[in-house]
Amino acid sequence: MYATLLHQYQLVLSSRGALLNYCETIRPEHLAQAIPLYNNDCMGSLMRHVANTYLGWLFNFLQQEQRPYFTEDNHKNIQAIRGMFDEVNLMVTSFLQQYKDDINAPLTLPREGETVLTLTPLELFTHVITHEYHHKGQLANMSRQLGYIPVDTDVIRD
């Protein structure tokens, strides 16, 4: 299962790489431009949200450690955004290595208040990558609203 999940994450990296390469063609001020249809959020901020979701679920929540979340400084330009995702990649690699023999083992995780979640590492991994794909579509739409023509960033692409 470990090899399969590593391969799956390589597919995520390829797709994310296509998105980041596309973002290189977007003017830096457009990456930071508020878009009304997205609650005045910007593309850079949305990418930071995606990175923070990996950090929040796979590190802070699961490991019960408190690494600081990425901030506005982490999405001020495409190089900073790439750096943020480089850190995410290290976290994912560490996570997959740590749970490679127990990917389906139930983990009981406390949440704020009295709520407790029981999730498997596989569920957490699936959650963060599907969350990224959800927002990847939004990023393509945001760029279209800024006058760009998005490229294909699917896993299977021409």
CB distance 148 to 26 below 8 Å: yes
Intra-chain end-to-end CA distance of the chain, in Å: 28
pLDDT in tens, 119-133: 999 999 999 999 999
Q: Which residue has the higher pLDDT, 52 or 72?
A: 52
Kindly state the DSSP code that residue 116 receives in the 8-state scheme: E
Tell me phi and psi for residue 146, to 5 degrees.
-90, 5
pLDDT in tens, 59-108: 887 777 788 999 988 888 999 999 999 999 999 999 999 999 999 999 98
pLDDT for the residue numbered 117: 86
Percentage, residues of the chain above pLDDT 70: 100
Buried b / exposed e along 13-29 (16+ C-beta atoms within 10 A):
eebbebbbebbeebeee
Tell me the Ramachandran region of residue 70: left when phi exceeds 0, alpha when psi lies from -120 to 50, beta otherwise. Answer: beta
